[in-house]
Chain A
Amino acid sequence: MSCEVCQLKELEVEHFEIREVLRCILHTIVFNRALGLVRPKDVDLELFEITYVQCGDLELEKKIDEKIEQFISWVEKHPNKKSQVCLSFFEVKNKQGSWFTNKTERQKYWEQWYINLNVAQNPKAHSTKSHHSKVVVDPGESASEERVARRAALEATLHEVLFQIVKFVNEKKDHVPPIPNLEGVVSFPYEITIPSSSDSVFGMDMIKRMLQTGHPTMLS
């Protein structure tokens, strides 16, 4: 099984939009890969006219939110940067480690999703989330029009990204490992990686991740 990689279309987001956008995307991906018994939960975004699906798994929700918070704090420390969040699915192999692998367990990645975000500079405090009444926000100002247009554009792009996920998930099925006989909603182990605060250059993080992940063929 090879590791399939999906680079999602870049999203131009403002700071206050990061949370919703990431939640939407991460949950959508995980839902498509959660082959355990799922009770889907529909969630309407507050900022966008979009509904996405969660697995209804509290643990997963918590983990995703944690990662998002970490990412947001990273963004605050590293403004004006393009950034990536990576969601990886892997299998745990219990094989005896190869000569340079210490662990008896090793992670074998079979799928990785890269969420590309471009966080806009002006993190104008917009903490109050307007309930998809985009027009209502600051009706008088011309700036508001811009914002509306920008928001609409982001919504469209986010929609595209979600469709991108759907298409990818549809086209790539062969590499998905057999369903483990585990109880639980999210049947495959996964991890969410964000740029680490130490990495000034995102590229470094990428390389590092590649090394960590290793291509299956490389390691074996």
Chain B
Amino acid sequence: MASSHGNTHSEAAKMEQIITEFYAKSLHIILESRTPYMSSRNYSGEQALSSPSSSSSSSSSVRPRDKWFNLALRECPAALENLDLWRQSSLEPMVVDVVLVQRPLVSYPVDCSPKGDLARNFSLKERYPYCWNYEQEDFWCEAKSEKIIERWVLQYDTRKARDTKSGSRRLSNSTLYKKSILLLRSLYVTVRLLPAYKIYRDLNSSGQILPFTLAHRVASFAEPFTCREDEEMQQFEFTPVDTACGRLCLSVLYCSSLSDVSSEPSTPMSPQVIPDYVGSPLADPLKRFPSLPVTGSLSRAIPSSIPFSRRHSWSYDHGTDSPPSVSFSPSPTHSEPHASISNPRSRHFPPTSLPRHLSGTSLDHKKDTGFYEYCPSPGFSPALSPSASPSLPISIPGNHLSKNMLRSESAPVSAPVAKCAKSPASSHKLNFPPSPPLISTRAGTFKTDKTTVGTSVEKLFSFGKGETRQCSGLKISSNSSPQISLSRSSTRSFPDDFDESEYPYPFDYDDDVTDPGSRPESFDQTGGLFPIKISQDAAVGALVRMLKKAPPLRQEISDSVSLSHACRPEIWNNSKPEAILSSESQAPLQHAGSSSVISSGLITSKTTADALEELRGYRDMKNSLLASGKSHM
């Protein structure tokens, strides 16, 4: 590795190779810690197995790749998929966008997003980067929000090098290599210091079902950020590494305000998570109540009890189904004041979600809000915090909210119904704020409930049925069981009913999404959920499983999935299936169904038969859970 001076092609070739490998390694480092379940963190031992075929296909074998820059990394199919592009043209800049995707709870964290709901938005965006905003608006209804939280830019700048360097001082390849190693070491550390890593870590922590996931996009150009985005971003520039005829420049723009999202997930998982989910369904009923009959002060008590749920709740909001929460707020008297106050925040939230479900007009509103507005992370945070919760309902509206509210107001009767329908799937906590009035009547029950979520939920249901018969009657009756309302599926079912009623648009959407078969399943699941709640840890585990399982159904829904890039599907498939499998007890229920769905890709839709099979599985679970629950009781 002597000085490069008189050296011929060999030196130049070596240098080029180093640069190329530098690209590859950088990408690998970045994606390895941004692609859920791909990193060694939790699956170091299993990586080999998990690594998708694509990765194996890649030219580089593990060993040689590890030796580059003396940095042995875990398998990261996502990186490998994108590497070939740059091996061919190493001089092009490489832009890696890390995208935070918020989705409704219904969809499972990692798995679902790619194929199903996410797939739509995502694929579209990716394919038509320039149309990004459009895509988001249109698909917003599905309740997914995307936000670029990190942008890594790696480029080989030949011009700068000439400027800086005098010809006399040339860098040998050995120096280049050494400095590259140093840079990559610091990159490796930095990637873990940035806020996005917390999200990644949360996503990978076992047993958590999170309303968001991370995705990435690798391109040779960067879509310009909006002013808002720019304001949110901080930059960190790595010191460039000079080469004989240029310099390697690596920098990152990152969103420093992810604390909201990340913090929530970071919260203790075990007990909290379950309650939330349980609570969410419950919350929905509550919400319904408030909207309709009761306007009490109970809400406060409830929220406090359900702090955790809020996290989820916001996720719901983001989710396609979730929109209801927003809508709820408007309908009640409470909503209006809040809306005015919270409007700014509302933008951050997935306002679109509301509109769609609630009203077709919502789309217009969505358009108004740029995708960046969704950058929810800040906005969401308030929702998470209990105090903020009240504001949340309002927040969603913003301009949109106002419309929604107007709508809801105009048709008071319909509004409650809509709420009911929405409530289950949508946001638990968000709903709560509005619900408080309702809560007051129920307050006693809730308080007790708080300790035991399951019971509270049941109560809520009962309430919902009795009090809000309109809503409950429609949806619940359809389900035949109160429990159904809780399940996300229930939300879907509601939409259908509602379609005819006052909120056709949302329903239309839902209809597309939900399969007929899926609904029944969901109901069963929900039924299972209640018992689970009653029971204990086991129940929780079961719930988690159920939740995870549920997504496949939705996946079917999304037609747009097909659009998804080739790369992503692979990534998702790889990562997600693993994640699912890894997750504790999913195996039985999810069984082939979920995994197969994922692998098959977004495009493939489930058949009724599949749904029935899944349903059976759920029923079995439910029965077992009930049995166990009884024993516990």
Residues on A lying within 8 angstroms of B by beta carbon are: 28, 31-40, 42, 44, 49-53, 132-133, 136, 159, 162-163, 165-166, 169-171, 173, 176, 178-179
Contacts and interface: CB of A to CB of B under 8 A. Distances in A.
A170 B186 contact: yes
Interface string B230-266: 0000000011010000000000000000000000001
Given A37-B66, A162-B193, A31 B239 contact: no
Interface string B15-51: 0000000000000000000000001110000000000
B185 interface: yes
B183 interface: yes
B186 A133 contact: no
Contacts of A38: 70-72, 185
Interface extent on B, as a size class? 20 to 34
A107 B410 CA distance: 83
Interface of B: 39-41, 66-67, 70-73, 174, 177-179, 181-183, 185-186, 188-190, 192-193, 197-198, 201, 238-239, 241, 266-268
Contact of A49 (B39, B70, B183, B198): B198
B406 to A, nearest CB: 40
A51 B239 contact: no
Given A159-B193, A176-B178, A169 B185 contact: yes
A80 B268 CA distance: 35
A51 B186 CA distance: 14
Contact of B185 (A32, A37, A42, A162): A32
B65 to A, nearest CB: 12
Given A37-B67, A38-B185, 14 more contacts: A31-B188, A33-B185, A35-B178, A35-B181, A37-B72, A38-B71, A39-B72, A42-B41, A51-B192, A52-B189, A53-B188, A162-B189, A173-B239, A176-B178
A51 B201 contact: yes
Contacts of B238: 170
Contacts of A36: 70
Contacts of A159: 193
B202 to A, nearest CB: 10
A166 B183 CA distance: 9
26 contacts: A28-B189, A31-B185, A31-B189, A32-B185, A33-B185, A35-B178, A36-B70, A37-B66, A37-B71, A38-B70, A39-B66, A51-B192, A51-B197, A51-B201, A132-B266, A162-B189, A162-B193, A163-B190, A166-B193, A169-B186, A170-B238, A171-B239, A176-B178, A179-B70, A179-B174, A179-B178
B250 to A, nearest CB: 9
Contacts of A176: 178, 182
Contacts of B183: 170, 173
Given A133-B268, A170-B183, A179-B178, A32 B41 contact: no
Nearest to B185: A32
Contacts of B186: 32, 166, 169-170
A32 B189 contact: yes
B193 A163 contact: yes
A178 B174 contact: yes
Nearest to B180: A173
A111 to B, nearest CB: 12
A137 B210 CA distance: 25
Contacts of A51: 192-193, 197, 201
A31 B627 CA distance: 53
Nearest to A36: B70
Contacts of B185: 31-35, 38, 169
Nearest to A56: B72
A7 B40 CA distance: 33
A49 B239 CA distance: 27
B189 A49 contact: no
A159 to B, nearest CB: 7
A129 B229 CA distance: 38
Nearest to B197: A51
A40 B239 contact: no
State the 3 A-B residue pairs at the shortest beta-carbon distance, nearest first.
A170-B239, A39-B72, A37-B70
Nearest to A27: B189
Contacts of A28: 189
B150 to A, nearest CB: 15
Contacts of B178: 35, 173, 176, 178-179
Contacts of A166: 186, 189-190, 193
Contacts of A32: 182, 185-186, 189
Contacts of A162: 189, 193
A52 B179 contact: no
